[in-house]
Amino acid sequence: MRRITPDRPWPLHGNAGSRALEARTAAALPPNALMQRAGLSVARLALALAPHAQRFWLACGPGNNGGDGLEAALHLARWGKQPLVSWLGDAGRLPPDAQAALQRVRAAGIALADAPPGAHDFAIDALLGLGSARPLEGRMAEWAERMNSGGTPVLAVDLPSGLSADTGRGGGVRATHTLSLLTLKPGLFTGGGRDAAGEIWFDDLGADLAAEPPAARLIPQPGVMARPHDSHKGRFGDVAVVGGAPGMGGAALLAASAALHAGAGRVFCALLGEPMPLVPGQPELMLRDWASLDLAAMAVACGCGGGDAVRAVLPRVLSTARALVLDADALNAVAADAALHPLLAARPARGWSTVLTPHPLEAARLLGAATQAVQADRLASAQALADRFRCVAVLKGSGTVVAAPGQVPWINPTGTAALATGGTGDVLAGLLAARLAAGQDAFEAAGQGVFLHGAAADRWPVGHSLTAGALAKALSPRASDQAGIRQGC
Ligand SMILES: NC(=O)C1=CN([C@@H]2O[C@H](COP(=O)(O)OP(=O)(O)OC[C@H]3O[C@@H](n4cnc5c(N)ncnc54)[C@H](OP(=O)(O)O)[C@@H]3O)[C@@H](O)[C@H]2O)[C@@H](O)CC1
Ligand SMILES: Nc1ncnc2c1ncn2[C@@H]1O[C@H](COP(=O)(O)OP(=O)(O)O)[C@@H](O)[C@H]1O
Ligand SMILES: [K+]
């Protein structure tokens, strides 16, 4: 058992993959052994998290998730703790493993209540796991609310009850800790999952994770991009930012600043609005008329603050830039104008890379769907975008998803709601363009870029507000090398 940190590309398995691994692992073990392992693991983590707690409330549901809780109760009792078991099951309808656990609990003389205890020091949520099929209601919803408002730590067994393993959808228990069993589930890391799950721990219970293809992977902390001593600015590539319609120059300048701080050799900024001779405080940026830029020789970030003006430049951008990040208004223009789609679709055949960086509303426009539908299954939405436009799709938000055709998608473990402030998306677009300019593969650049963007926010000093301008300046090509990156999950 271990706490999850982004030290490797952890495989994430959804409901179907987890069930297949459960069946495969259980088949190689004596009956009930897997659930006994699960219960022991839960009890050990509870004890480690709250060594001085006495009264452990175990809220156990009607299936095998509840069985895990019953097994944990046996261990806590053996260790001299007071397990307070509330059980919502029907003995006549229990699956066999949970049935065996119930008999063992009864044989141990542990009482089973049908209501929560009056008081407790620590709560264990074993109401629902993979079998969660509909919103919580009735007593189950009441018990979940009791845990949420109890003022004690809450350890969720496998999943916070009510949360979808596949999507991170659905509410219910809001745990302080989650012990994911057998597999790590994607729903813990994106959408509402991060808020519901708290700190994530994992025990594979002996499963061979490689036996089932993952639904996604967690982005690991990138290594350092070394800069040889014998190098010059031309080696790190040029970035052009095309955007900044009248009144929106700031967005383009934020992207350009981010590209500069993320290590691009030279950064050009083509504002589609009012001309500006020099950027105050950022003399390194080179302002150019967009028509004069040799887009074929640069990585281009297009759209940041581009307004309606960006529509006119997109045909040339799409048919000349070899490495391209499309953000914000460029995405809205693509969504609104099907005439641009063939230009986008032609890029992969020419060996050119494209990264789309929509937030959920922009993704919804591109997919012709509602924002809620995009958020309801962020992995599927990002994959649909990548497949439809044959590019790398970065679906932003809590647990950013990075997808590409034929690839296992990434989920980003870094970043917090401190990033929910204007302009941080422009910063990401500039950062990604810098990595493309350095010659990185687009899927890798997108994954590593979103990780570093979020990590820069994670290490933000307490008491200092995060602004997009300051975030851009906090980026560095060596960001992953800096001390003090808070592990983001
Ligand atoms: N087998 C093993 O050895 C191991 C199993 N493991 C554990 O098993 C878990 C999966 O167990 P599971 O498949 O039994 O599903 P589980 O989450 O307990 O729920 C199913 C029950 O809940 C009910 N129900 C659903 N929604 C509801 C709602 N809203 N409100 C009320 N009821 C609702 C549903 O009823 P139904 O929908 O059929 O009416 C059914 O009765 C997995 O997450 C892991 O913890 C692992 O530890 C490894 C060892
Ligand atoms: N709650 C959150 N948790 C993690 N990251 C977030 C959160 N909210 C926003 N972000 C990140 O902040 C950035 C915001 O981008 P975007 O919505 O395009 O903003 P803007 O248009 O103002 O630049 C994205 O990288 C997104 O993933
Ligand atoms: K649970």
pLDDT at 108: 98
pLDDT at 281: 75
The Cα 122–Cα 53 span in angstroms is 7
Whose atoms come closest to the Cα of 425: which ligand?
A: 2
Structure-block tokens of residue 475 = 């980026």
Pocket of ligand 2 (CB under 6 A): 328, 359, 396-398, 400, 415-417, 419-420, 422-426, 428, 453
For a pLDDT cut of 90, what percent of the chain falls above it? 88
pLDDT at 247: 86
User: ipTM score of the complex?
Assistant: 0.96
Whose atoms come closest to the Cα of 144: which ligand?
A: 3
Mean pLDDT over the full length of the chain? 94
The Cα 55–Cα 468 span in angstroms is 46
Residue 406 has pLDDT above 80, yes or no: yes
Residue 309 has pLDDT above 90, yes or no: yes
Q: How many CB atoms lie within 10 A of CB 8?
A: 11
| C-alpha 121 to ligand 1 mean position (Å) | 25
Q: How many CA atoms lie within 13 A of 210 on its CB side?
A: 0
The answer on whether 132 is annotated among ligand-binding residues is yes
Which residues does 7 contact at the CB level (< 8 Å), separation at least 6? 220, 221
The answer on whether 67 is annotated among ligand-binding residues is yes
| Torsions phi, psi for 405 (to 5 deg) | -60, 135
pLDDT at 484: 31
What count of residues does the chain have? 489
The answer on whether 148 is annotated among ligand-binding residues is no
pLDDT at 278: 66
Which residues does 465 contact at the CB level (< 8 Å), separation at least 6? none
Whose atoms come closest to the Cα of 159: which ligand?
A: 3
Pocket of ligand 1 (CB under 6 A): 22, 26, 34-35, 38, 61-66, 68, 95, 97, 128-134, 136, 140, 157-158, 181-182
Please report which confidence band the pLDDT of residue 232 belongs to, taking 50, 70 and 90 as the band edges.
Answer: low
352-396 pLDDT, tens digit per residue, is: 999 999 999 999 999 999 999 999 999 999 999 999 999 999 999
pLDDT at 306: 85
Residue 153 has pLDDT above 70, yes or no: yes
Which residues does 161 contact at the CB level (< 8 Å), separation at least 6? 61, 65, 125, 127, 128, 129, 132, 136, 140, 144, 172, 173
| C-alpha 419 to ligand 2 mean position (Å) | 5
The answer on whether 39 is annotated among ligand-binding residues is no
**What residue type is assigned to position 446 of the chain?**
A
pLDDT at 477: 67
Please report which confidence band the pLDDT of residue 171 belongs to, taking 50, 70 and 90 as the band edges.
Answer: confident
Domains plus CATH for the chain?
Answer: 2-216 (3.40.50.10260), 233-476 (3.40.1190.20)
Our CA dihedral for 78, 80, 84, 87, rounded to 10 degrees, sits at 0
Taking CA atoms, 109 is separated from 55, 67, 117, 222, in Å, by 16, 16, 17, 52
Helix (H, G, I), strand (E, B) or coil at 286: strand
183-210 pLDDT, tens digit per residue, is: 999 999 999 999 999 999 999 999 999 9
Structure-block tokens of residue 87 = 């059980």
Residue 479 has pLDDT above 60, yes or no: no
Mean pLDDT of 268-295: 83
The Cα 259–Cα 244 span in angstroms is 15
